[in-house]
Amino acid sequence: MFLKLAAVIALATPSVALATPPAAKGLPADPLESPMWQFQAERLFGTSPVVFDRAVHVLVPEIAENQRVFPVTVDARALPDVQRIVIFADLNPIPIAIDYATGTAAPFVATRIKLDQRTPVRAAVLTRDGVWHVAGNWIDAAGGGCSAPPLSRVKGDWADHLGEARAGAWPEAAGQTRLRMTFRHPMDTGLVENIAAYNIERLTIRAADGTLLGDMQINGSVAEDPAFTVVVHHEGGPISFVATDSAGLRFAGAIAPEPSPFASANP
Amino acid sequence: MLSRRAVLGAGAGLLSSTVVLAQPFAGIYEPRADVVADGIWLVRGADEPITFANGGAIANTIIIATDDGPVLFDAGISLAHGQSLAALALKLTGKPVTRVILSHLHPDHAMGAAAFDARLVHALPSTHADLERDAEGFSDAMYRLLSGWMKGTAIVLPQADMADGPLIIGGRSLQVFALQGHSAGDLALLDEATGTLITGDLVFHNRAPATPHANLAQWQAALDQLEAISHRLLLPGHGPLDRTGFAISQTRDWLGWLDASVHQSVASGLDMTEAGEVAIPDRFNGLKSARYELQRSVSHFFPAIESEWLPKTAP
């Protein structure tokens, strides 16, 4: 009887219908049966409720062609009131790649991470009600994404281009701008002999009046020469962004998006 | 506090009780040859990615009979694969392999050289250099994917003595073409008597081209060169034989579309996962492994195109 009632309630709200109901106590069983699920989940979520939720779309390629540069896109636009998106890989020595406080931005982010071995790659999305919505899959990868030196260290030219920023902006929907930013940076993990950890730690995006449009914490498991795609809420005018790294250097950029073609159609 | 290693150890115990993790045994290579011209046999690979199920036997091998014994064009992926191809060539011609020609560096074509005396194995100098650089990495990757199939497969580097021009082996007149584009060194071979053009991986047929070491402009130029060589029959590196010239134009069409598609993805603000999900035109419906190779190619080309195309910005 209780089960039937629960099913009816779940069907009434589409985003919940896809979700496993949160366990009253403890973590839900991991559908991926990862040996590190319990450990990572306790660290990340504490006592907050956790659900596995197909409303969180984690887009990855069929194959990890390059374990140093594995693209991950997370689209949680099917969920209301998203506050944070965390991308993590259970079996990476640096499990969390990014922790994105979405603020007014759309719950969408794309970046590229390193894979140190076959591992689950997941997104955890926090909604305002305090529930973490988790999705992901096992990715088969050759070893060494985190423990091999970056190509620019091997080539020796990393310092010549350090912090070079590139950016593009595209209208996404009414009042929304898709922003892509790339930086030249070795993103050293600290796991390679004689190369200390050195990575971009934070990326903030602001409107011309200083309003915060997006704020991301970044770890060394993000790929060398990192790239980030976000969809910010933006009513026009230039957008600026600043990345800071673990040595305190600041890499800033600005872009003036074209006026959105959606603006007049949907005021 | 639990260490990561302790948790992994505990988890492994749990995993073995809940998931069936049977370690499958490798099978036996059973290559089959089709006679395609007088004294020439085509041994077809599976038109698939390298997987444990197919033992990595995905590339075509060509056997050419000569008075000195058969020539093997590409050697398969492993010791056992190379041995099975050698046994097949012996059965077909009554003579042991006299020479192995490697078309290029990739493991599905080159690592079967382990089955032969290094003095019998020949390639372009650029292929020798490629293998000197990459063979160890290939070996690690193939052992990881194929485990038991790779048993005993050591690295055998080819003689770096193949060059453009005529080549006569056991009375058979061949023409060697030293090309590049699929990799830094791509050897193609023409059998003059039968007009059979053997292209290695410069031509794929009804199987999407792979691009891990490709230079697309050079590859297109190589396709032009191949098209200009008069031939009656073409044997591609992957996929079925072609008597119509279609395989060259299909390879050219895919590479052109691929290049334009990745550029278009960068220009329209997509990231790599999205670039790998774009619609593949219907005219490529007949290409096996198309989505798989598109996503691999995005990995190969996207970051460089992005770093050229996205404008630099300053505060």
Q: Give me the DSSP letters along chain A.
A: -HHHHHHHHHHHSHHHHTBPPPPSSSPPPPTT--TTHHHHHHHHHTTS-EEEBTTSEEE--SS-S-TTSEEEEEE-TTSSSEEEEEEEETTSSS-EEEEEE-TTS-SEEEEEE--SSSEEEEEEEEETTS-EEEEEEEE---S-TTTS--HHHHHT-GGGSTT-EEEEEEEEETTEEEEEEEE----B-S-BTTB--B-EEEEEEEETT--EEEEEEE-TTBPSS-EEEEEEE--SS-EEEEEEETTS-EEEEEE-PPPPTHHHH--
Q: Which residue has the tokens 């990572």?
A: A40
Q: Which residue has the tokens 């194995």?
A: B121
CB contact A61 to B (< 8 Å):
yes
Cα–Cα–Cα angle for B150, B154, B156, rounded to 5 degrees? 125
Distance from CA of B313 to the nearest CA of A (A): 5
Select from A69, A112, A164 the Cβ nearest to the Cβ of B312: A164
Confidence tier at B209 by pLDDT (50, 70, 90):
very high
Which among B132, B156, B152 has a CA at the least distance from the CA of B143?
Answer: B152
Please give the backbone phi and psi of residue A261, each rounded to the nearest 5 degrees, phi first.
-65, -15
Distance from CA of A70 to the nearest CA of B (A): 8
What's the number of CA atoms in the CB half-sphere (13 Å) around residue A87? 33
CB contact A249 to B (< 8 Å):
no
Which among B265, B82, B110, B285 has a CA at the least distance from the CA of B182?
Answer: B110
Residue A243: closest C-alpha in chain B: B315
- Largest CA-CA distance found in chain A, in angstroms, rounded: 68
Select from B141, B291, B310 the Cβ nearest to the Cβ of A180: B310
User: Looking at beta carbons, which residues of chain A come within 8 Å of B307?
Assistant: 166, 182, 225
- Give the pLDDT confidence score for residue A39 in this predicted structure: 95
User: Looking at beta carbons, which residues of chain A come within 8 Å of B292?
Assistant: 62-63
- Give the pLDDT confidence score for residue A236 in this predicted structure: 80
Note the residue count of chain B: 315
Amino acid (one-letter) located at B147: S
pTM for this prediction: 0.88
Per residue in B92-145, pLDDT (tens digit) is 999 999 999 999 999 999 999 999 999 999 999 999 999 999 999 999 999 999
Give exposure, B239-263, as e/b (b: 16+ Cβ within 10 Å). Answer: bebbeeeebbebbbebbeebbebbb
CB contact A69 to B (< 8 Å):
yes
Distance from CA of B149 to the nearest CA of A (A): 18
User: Looking at beta carbons, which residues of chain A come within 8 Å of B141?
Assistant: 142
Above 70 in pLDDT, residue B14? no
Distance from CA of B276 to the nearest CA of A (A): 7
- Give the pLDDT confidence score for residue B1 in this predicted structure: 38
Q: Which residue has the tokens 């007088």?
A: B38
Contact B313 A167 (CB under 8 A): yes
CB contact A16 to B (< 8 Å):
no
Contact A166 B307 (CB under 8 A): yes
Which among B188, B181, B135, B184 has a CA at the least distance from the CA of B157?
Answer: B135
CB contact A62 to B (< 8 Å):
yes
Contacts across the A-B interface (CB distance below 8 Å): 110
User: Looking at beta carbons, which residues of chain A come within 8 Å of B310?
Assistant: 166-168, 180, 182
- Give the pLDDT confidence score for residue A259 in this predicted structure: 55
Select from A66, A111, A165 the Cβ nearest to the Cβ of B313: A165
Above 60 in pLDDT, residue B195? yes
Select from A60, A69, A165 the Cβ nearest to the Cβ of B303: A69
Give exposure, A53-88, as e/b (b: 16+ Cβ within 10 Å). Answer: bebbebbbbebbbbbbbbbbbbbbebbeebebbbbb
User: Looking at beta carbons, which residues of chain A come within 8 Å of B12?
Assistant: 35
User: Looking at beta carbons, which residues of chain B come within 8 Å of A182?
Assistant: 306-307, 310
Distance from CA of B135 to the nearest CA of A (A): 16
Range with the lowest mean pLDDT among A158-172, B89-103, B151-165, B249-263?
A: A158-172
Per residue in A141-169, pLDDT (tens digit) is 887 778 777 888 888 888 888 989 999 99
Give exposure, A217-247, as e/b (b: 16+ Cβ within 10 Å). Answer: ebbbbbbbbbbbbbbbbbeeeebbbbbbbbe
CA distance A255 to B49: 42
Contact B315 A34 (CB under 8 A): no
What part of A 103-162 touches B (C-beta under 8 Å)?
A: 110-112, 142
Distance from CA of A14 to the nearest CA of B (A): 25
Q: Which residues of chain A have pLDDT under 50?
A: 1-18, 21-24, 260-267
CB contact A209 to B (< 8 Å):
no
CB contact A210 to B (< 8 Å):
no
Instruction: Write out the residues of chain B at the interface with chain A, using a CB-CB cutoff of 8 A.
Output: 2, 4, 7-8, 10-12, 14-15, 18-19, 49, 140-141, 144, 212, 268-269, 271-274, 276-277, 291-292, 295-296, 298-300, 303, 306-307, 310-315
Contact B311 A167 (CB under 8 A): yes
Contact B277 A38 (CB under 8 A): no
- Answer for the pair B180, B214: CB distance below 8 angstroms, yes or no: no
